[in-house]
Chain A
Amino acid sequence: MAARSRPLSPHLSIYRFTITMVVSIVHRITGIALYAGTVLLVGWLLAGAWGPVPLAYVNGFFAHWFGTLVLIGYTWALFQHLLGGVRYFFWDATAGMGAGQREAISWANVIGAVLLTVIAWSVYFMFRETASL
């Protein structure tokens, strides 16, 4: 029997959005963002290695409201992807796959990431004036 072309499955546009689907897509997007974001970390280390002037320049960028916004977004992406990974650990073990459970885990992923981001930055903004962490 000759090989036929593989059947194609319908793609995103045809499905109703579910939370499990959203966290799956967001997991991939945050992964790609974090991939690109490693440039920020390496750029920061390079600036520090280069000398006081480049470091002050990078510090100035991150202290600016736009730089801070980028960092907050990066932190959220990090937590979203991290908790998404934990979600996959559950599912790899075939835990939390029942009706309702998979949605609950997905919502926990979304809410947890936002909460952790808020907590981390609240701690930072509260303590940066008074003491060094």
Chain B
Amino acid sequence: MESPLIEFRDVTKRFGVRSVLEQVNLQIYEGQVTTIIGLSGSGKSVLLKHIIGLLKPDEGTILFKGIPLSEMKKGESAANFAQISYMFQDNALFDSMTVYENIALPLRETTNLSKAEIDLRVMARIEQTELKDAAHKYPSELSGGMQKRAALARALVTDPRIVLFDEPTTGQDPVRKNAILGMIAQYQRKFGFTAILVSHEIPDVYFISNRILALYERSIVFQGSPEELEDFNHPFKDEVIRSLEGLQNELTGLYSKRQFKVMHHVQLKQTTSGATYCVAVFSLNDLDIIRAGAGYDAAQVAIRSLGTYIDKHFGAIGGFSTRRRSNEFVTVLPYSDLTEAESILKDFVKDFQEQGIHDVWAAARKQTPSARCIEFTVRAGIAQGQPVADIDSVIDAAKSQQKEIARLRCDGRR
């Protein structure tokens, strides 16, 4: 088993008589995206501040690469902390400095790099985070999403090994929330840092996370993959996950992965033995091209409008859908055999080619009017399953049958 990069052993933190963390045990592994979920005020930010050394535990030990921080020499622990960047919930950008100055600040103050070298690095980050036009603006002149990107650029400019994100999506609308999570995932892949997030965005955060830590009543009650969390049986799920999932359901019309599984079991139990059902898998390909051409917000709008379109079409005939990956949707048609499902899909494809894909792109363009012309495709596949069959294997079969159903060649006109 890989040894953890950061480990908490029985960490307890109190403020006065109020205990915020109680005997917390957790492991964070290198190169992964780890998300801490929990109710507001449950101590998630306090936990993050322990990782970066802003707070010290009253009891217990924090280990960095297996060595307790309390046993490290000052220089050694400082060197470890220097590898960590922190992105604050409210960005904490210096409002009297421009975006450029904010991003350059850690390099100017903590390194001996030349002015030209600093400029080179800062401009690289500004370009990567699509802030070129905003480089000489003040934070108050930027939108919420741009401020987040500026904060992210500042966090990344020192090439940290670990980046902590304290509720990076707070105060953003649903589209922008997903856009920010998508941006974090993309940069994590691009730069290879270890990301530790505090987030409420369920299920979206599952798509970008390798591991989930659940903080409940001052302790970590779950550590594992998002898939393992599906099978986790604990009051935490009732109080936290379901309330957050319910909110998502209201916003998108789609079911959460867990709700989707429950729906699937219930529907199939009701069908007579020997009856079949069908699963359709839809993918919006070239998501990175949409992001590059139209921005993160537009990419998220495109995904959401595809999901809404699918739900509208198949929901009317008893189908239920979920978002399985960041760009993938799964729909179950519980009462249809393969022939019927193929016929329904054919109608959908016709409608989608004529209208749907243009609606998806129109919604994305509305979000980013300056979006440049791009080309993207939507693929779909269908497979038939037996009630006894594992849903995942049917989904995989449908995925293997996927073929292009629609392609948008943008001509630049609105």
Report whether chain A binds chain B. no
